[in-house]
Amino acid sequence: MTTDTATPPGPGCALRPAPIVDEADGGRIDLAAALARAALPPGQGRLAVVAMSGGVDSGVSALLLREAGYRTVGINMRLFTPDEGHSRCCSIDDMEDARAVCRHLDIPFYPLNMEREFVGSVIEPFVDAYLAGRTPNPCLECNRKPKFSFLLGRARALGAAYLATGHYARVERRPDGTALLRRAADERKDQSYVLYTFTQRQLGRILFPVGALTKPEVRALARQHALPVAAKAESQDICFVPDGDYASFVLGRRPGAARPGPIVDPGGRVLGEHRGLIHYTVGQRKGLGVSAPEPLFVMELDTARNRLVVGTRRQLGFVALTAGAVNYIAGAPPDGPIPILAVLRYQGQELPATLHPLGGDRARIAFADPPRAVAPGQAVVFYDPADRTIVLGGGTIEGAERLPGGE
């Protein structure tokens, strides 16, 4: 999959927090300062369940909750068993790492088998979306259903006041009882893009203890408190496709799904043959196997006619998109058009745009400057242009409108 590259925050970025390193104590991280930065609700012996992935972020989250006075319980979700090879998360090794962290912190640990829910709500829709010519985001669906629907329900059944995870994002609780979802303090690790599906009721019960810390600070806390996962590498790929070969994974579950067909330009002229539409995504440039005077990009996956439509950079401009399954974190949709910053990819660029509610859970997003790639199936997430750290909501891209004449 192709992604836009986000511009890293500059030296004056307002999100970058003041250091919490105690130079007088050999450069150690000040735990009290880290807890103050995390701004967790008072623990007071209340129960908090931590989704323990076996990684350093969830391990430090559990540490911070324990130190904040919560009765902390770790739960590891067994989500996927690969047929062969090694998954980079959700493996037996990850479960044992999570167990070791809980043992080290002297908190209870419970494994939870949620593979059936994960396959039904994440993997099968992922495969079906690829076959329909869309580019799905399984991490978003995993957060929407197994993690923050099923698991939150289990946590509440245990009597927990909160469910916590190691995601890099922040929740701001306002005096009127509403909650805001904000970007993480460390924008290089920010995961707010895949968290826009929260309702107010859910967000009020969610904690992101490491969201106000930087990744180096999290690592330092883990080393300082001798967590067994302090030096563990983090996963960069989809957990059930550890080698990043999405097409092979889809073919393994739907043999024969990759049918060769024509590669055509916007006018329908045949330029070559593709290997099966599941091998491509909108905006892709490399690996098309077509020679042309100037670079060609994927414009459309025409599943009805099994055609791959390609064009030049000038023909790629998208002026607007339509989104479905739109969620507004505040609860109600806006009364009319509002300005937003739209993000179309994880860690993608912010695009000035106008959101037009279409009724129900649909919206039209019109761009000030046409982006190069708008991939149906991906998420479009809305940020507040007046305060770009605030997530307003988001939805799933259904389709897009191009510049008239493709120019």
**Whether residue 239 lies in the annotated active site:** yes
Pairwise CA distance, residues 257 & 127, whole Å: 10
Reply yes or no on whether 142 is catalytic: yes
From 232, 241, 240, select the one nearest 54 (Cα to Cα). Answer: 232
Closest alpha carbon to 352 in 323, 396, 319, 314: 319
Burial profile 303-336: b = 16 or more Cβ within 10 angstroms, e = fewer:
eeeebbbbbbeebbbbbbbbbeebbbbeeebbee
**How far apart (Å, rounded) are the C-alpha atoms in residues 344 and 316?**
15
Nearest partner of 391 among 184, 142, 145, 209, judged by Cα: 184
Number of H helices, E strands in the chain: 10, 19
The helix/strand/coil state of 142 is helix
Q: Which amino acid is at 400?
A: A
Residue 41 CB partners (closer than 8 Å, separation 6+): 161, 162, 173, 207
CA 119 to the chain's CA centroid: 18
Counting other chains too, the contacts that 145-148 makes at CB distance below 8 Å and 24 or more residues apart are 145/117, 145/121, 146/77, 146/79, 146/114, 146/117, 146/118, 146/121, 146/122, 147/51, 147/77, 148/197, 148/198, 148/202, 148/206
The secondary element (H helix, E strand) that includes residue 103 is helix 92-105
Question: Which residues are catalytic, by number?
Answer: 142, 239
